[in-house]
Structure 1
Amino acid sequence: MRILALAAVAIAVLCADSACAQSLKDDFDNGSLDPTKWTKKQITDAQISFVPDSRCGLSAIEITAREGDGGQQCGNACERAELRTAKSSWPSFGQEVWYRFSFRIDGDIPTIGSARTVIGQWKGPGDGSPMLAQRFDNGVFHITVQDNDNRRVVASAEGNYDDVQTVEASATKPGDKHEKDINAVLGLQSTELVDGRVSDFARKTRSDDVAGAPVDKGSFAQSSEIAKSVGLADPKFVSQIEVIPEKDAVLPDPRKGWVDMIYRIKPGRGDNERGPRGRGEIDIWANGEKIVSVRGNIGATLKQGGDEKLVGPYFKFGIYRSSVPGTLRFRFDEFSQATSRDGLPMLCPAK
């Protein structure tokens, strides 16, 4: 008995930091929020309900954002209603983690113009914008990956792709003296993906030599060459991300029914001075079909001497958007997180 007790203490010590605490599952069938799994730092109780129209089982959780409903940590400029995973489930930063969940949305959804709507995001140490995000703007569900200040649309549902490019360009801070340069790059990169046009610029940015390569002296020189070829003032605006879409793969429309998502995430950057150094990896499936793979510099560069704890990314779901008229409802069900795909539980048959 003493040996077993000592073993339990040893495991508790080893897992005290979250390196061993990466598995999480919630089917939301209890009709109440489990505080050991989720934190309500950015949501109010009035924005949470449980509904019988579930993906599986007895109920799903529904998050609602109404006009003028700031929630927590938002104010009058936006509407926020997000739940995040408890810190006890955050992985060590750089480890491979898999996620599975189902969601759908309904209510007042603008089909023209951007409300900067985020409906799911992963944030790592040092991130301002999320390294990976599910977005729903201009009537189009799309997924973005962040490389420091550069944002790429890596997958999209059918819709008005010109407006998606407008969303991309709006990521630039107003007044930045390189705003036109950044917008030009974002426009070229998103056009290359969603319209299927592979320009000379896109071929260069997607090549193994540039996109996703460690940012050493050689790749910086290549980035400089690319920047010069399209008239950019600074090579740092050339994204070090390689997007590998599956042929004819598009995201489903979550307004039309449940969408089943699987994500594989392994953070990394070639220019990290601490934490995982090497190409980051993301793979995405929707309704059982592979959609896209992403390789390269993902998230924020971690500098030597930084005080960020090397844990995460942590996952948040719900609604985060600019303050706009109407009510938006986000339904979420059958969430699981594991260190391998085999660790994800089987999902019930499609509805």
Structure 2
Amino acid sequence: MKIRLLLAAGLAAFLCTGTQAGAGMEVLKDGFDGHDFSPEGGLYYKENFEQSAGTVQFQRDVAVSGGALKLTVRPLCPATRQSCSERAEIWEKPELRVPYDQGVWYGFTVKFGEPIPQDDHRYLIAQWKREIDPGAEGDFSPFLALRLRQGKLFATVETNYIAPHATLTTAAAENTVATCAPGQTPVWLRPKTNQMRALVATEASWTPEDGALFSSCTDAISVTNHGTPLPSPNSGWIDFAVYTKPGPDGSGHIEIFANGKPVVTVKGHIGHADKGLGKNQYFKFGPYRAANKGEWTLYYDNFRRSPRCEDVLTRDLCPAL
């Protein structure tokens, strides 16, 4: 009888997690209402040369409620320094990161400060990456990123390079904008770095010319569009809810919600499986750009992370995974 009760209690605890993946994962939340990062949020500002371009301010003038983070980058990189970036990114603490093969929900609210950049200097507002072990060869792009180009939001998914079928290479060969068939996704092929980057979501004003870089197609990554584009950066506060489960073997799964509406479901080859990569995924958010002039500011509020969707979205919005 005692064994049956223990088994029943264990089953109930398992079901309450919402998903098996990440069942023991710590829930993180930070509303940025104080003068420093909350102990319950598990976040910190990483100190290095590129991050010294940034400033962090806990303020109450611009917030969803209470307080919010004001993150700003300014010019820093010398003209002679190649591939230099300017960042003001907030990181998850290493000891709280999620295993790479597990699924996890993230949420945050963001507002673009004025002026909103209208050029193309590799702007990112949030990115999800795999840990890189010391000494690993290669420069690995985020497996998921929310980006800005010429004032327009878009999302990309990265994975290891997979050569397209002959029937999918026409657009790349002609160096034109790819028009992909059903079941295919526009992709930027980068065989020299063993990577390829797929375009998975855009805002409504996005044009084919905006995506000219994604000049081929792949069937290794599938995108289900739910009929809601990404919001425009000038639309005010934007609340994102994102589910990430990398799967370089083809088992990857991503869900993107914006302002309580489903945007896209992405499945297939997601992330990298190269030697020398770490065991965990991690999330960081804040303004990131290639070296540029002037200042760029973003405001962030309501950070949350959980293995359970209902901790990030309202329960009635949570998809079946």
- TM-score under structure 1 normalisation? 0.64
- Unmatched runs of 5 consecutive residues or more in structure 2: 1-21, 133-138, 161-194, 316-321
Say whether residues 1:333 and 2:301 are aligned partners: yes
Instruction: Summarize deviations over 1:126-159 as a string: whole Å, max 9, x none.
Output: 5700000010111101111112211111111133
Q: Is the 8 A contact 1:134 1:144 kept in 2?
A: yes
Report SS of the residue matched to 1:291.
strand
Report SS of the residue matched to 2:271.
coil
The residue aligned with 1:105 is: 112
- Unmatched runs of 5 consecutive residues or more in structure 1: 1-17, 170-185, 190-204, 206-210, 212-239, 271-277
Report SS of the residue matched to 1:324.
coil
- Where is the strand percentage greater, Structure 1 or Structure 2? 2
Q: Is the 8 A contact 2:46 2:89 kept in 1?
A: yes
Q: Is the 8 A contact 2:107 2:304 kept in 1?
A: yes
2:44 to 38, 41, 45: 38
The residue aligned with 2:273 is: 301
Instruction: Summarize deviations over 1:27-79 as a string: whole Å, max 9, x none.
Output: 0000223475324235349611122144433210011012x2359xx988432
Q: Is the 8 A contact 2:83 2:290 kept in 1?
A: no
Counterpart-to-counterpart distance in 1, 2:276 and 2:290: 31
Counterpart-to-counterpart distance in 2, 1:65 and 1:57: 24
The residue aligned with 1:51 is: 59
Give the count of matched residue pairs: 248
Say whether residues 1:310 and 2:316 are aligned partners: no
**What one-letter code is carried by the residue in structure 1 that aligns with 2:121?**
A
The residue aligned with 2:101 is: 94
- Displacement of 1:262 after TM fit? 0.5
The residue aligned with 2:235 is: 256
The residue aligned with 1:220 is: none
Q: Is the 8 A contact 1:84 1:317 kept in 2?
A: yes
Report SS of the residue matched to 2:247.
coil
- Where is the helix percentage greater, Structure 1 or Structure 2? 1
Q: Is the 8 A contact 2:158 2:196 kept in 1?
A: yes
Give the direction of change, closer, same or farther, for the CA distance of 1:323–1:109 in structure 2 (3 Å limit): farther
**What one-letter code is carried by the residue in structure 2 that aligns with 1:63?**
L
The residue aligned with 1:243 is: 223
The residue aligned with 1:268 is: 247
Q: Is the 8 A contact 2:130 2:278 kept in 1?
A: no
**What one-letter code is carried by the residue in structure 2 that aligns with 1:49?**
Q
What is the RMSD of the two structures over their aligned residues, measured on CA atoms?
2.7
